[in-house]
Structure 1
Amino acid sequence: MFKSILVPFDGSQGAEAALAKAAELARLCGAELTLLTVYRHHSLLEASMHMVRPDEPADLDDIMRTHAKEVAERGRALAAESGIPAPRAFVKGGPVARTITSFAKEHGNDLTVIGSRGLGSLEGVLLGSVSHKVTSLSETPVLVV
């Protein structure tokens, strides 16, 4: 059935529910499980704030990447606790939905399991959720939990 399952993981309750369902499917299918945490590059507005607060760290991307690594590691630990042998976790920066779908294609994932609501922003409310965008862009099946 499925050989390689991708779980986009942002640490939200929706992502945890998706991870639990993906772990269940992976155990049933004998599939490998991969987690992906995507962080968005900071905006020009956020960058301009450093001109006002020079004592803050200079590179917001480094801060976001570090946080994303912590989130990914937490997801990997949850997957391992649920009985998945050697779950892999990756961190990427970029536009979230496109990064997820391109990662799945590049790594040969044949199923993406994603939470219906994550840690989205106001942009997500106005322009549509990441899960909706992933279902639209993906070339492989997507299970929205």
Structure 2
Amino acid sequence: MKILLAADGSEHSLRAAQHVINAVSGCERHEVVLLNVQAPIDAPEIRSHMKASEIEAMQETHGGDALAPVREVLDAAGVPYTPVVLIGPVAETIVQFAADQGCDKIVMGTRGLGALGSALLGSVSQEVLGLTHLPVTLVK
């Protein structure tokens, strides 16, 4: 089983990681891909002061920072994983990456760190549900 664990560093992401740990314990064949997607930055005030490569490097750093707490949980449980940070429209990128990687399911928190994400039932998680044919497990 190949599981895509989409994480943003929120408490919901940590609980999703714990769900994955429980799901793979005792399972001999499993693969976990840990993914953070950074939304593209198109703000002219930023683009006019930074090169595209600098913006991308900054976003990759933010993505790595967001994955750090989830990596700690997975490491402590002894669950191997492959960390990936991508830049793109968040829900679409999660779904496309899961398909491209041949994942069997997607696991993610119901809400993320964004203000809008905390106000609604995770707009990204709702969008992922609508875009993918894969089973999706949402963790509160």
Output the TM-score relative to the length of structure 2.
Answer: 0.84
Q: 1:16 aligns with which of 14, 17, 24?
A: 14
CA distance in 1, matches of 2:96, 2:115: 22
The reply to whether residue 75 of structure 1 matches residue 105 of structure 2 is: no
Tell me if structure 2 keeps the 8 A contact 1:5–1:26: no
Tell me if structure 2 keeps the 8 A contact 1:35–1:88: yes
CA distance in 2, matches of 1:122, 1:135: 17
1:48/1:88 CA distance change after superposition, 3 Å: closer
CA distance in 1, matches of 2:45, 2:36: 21
The reply to whether residue 6 of structure 1 matches residue 4 of structure 2 is: yes
1:66/1:48 CA distance change after superposition, 3 Å: closer
Over the matched positions of the two proteins, sequence identity in percent amounts to 33
Aligned ranges for residues 96-115 of structure 1 at < 5 Å? Answer: 96-115=90-109
Q: Which has the larger radius of gyration?
A: 1
1:123/1:23 CA distance change after superposition, 3 Å: closer
Q: Which sections of structure 1, spanning at least 5 residues, go unmatched?
A: 51-56
Q: CA RMSD in A?
A: 2.4
Equivalence for 2:39 = 40
Q: How far does residue 120 in structure 1 lie from its aligned partner after superposition?
A: 2.5
Output the TM-score relative to the length of structure 1.
Answer: 0.81
- The count of aligned residue pairs is 136
Q: Which sections of structure 2, spanning at least 5 residues, go unmatched?
A: none
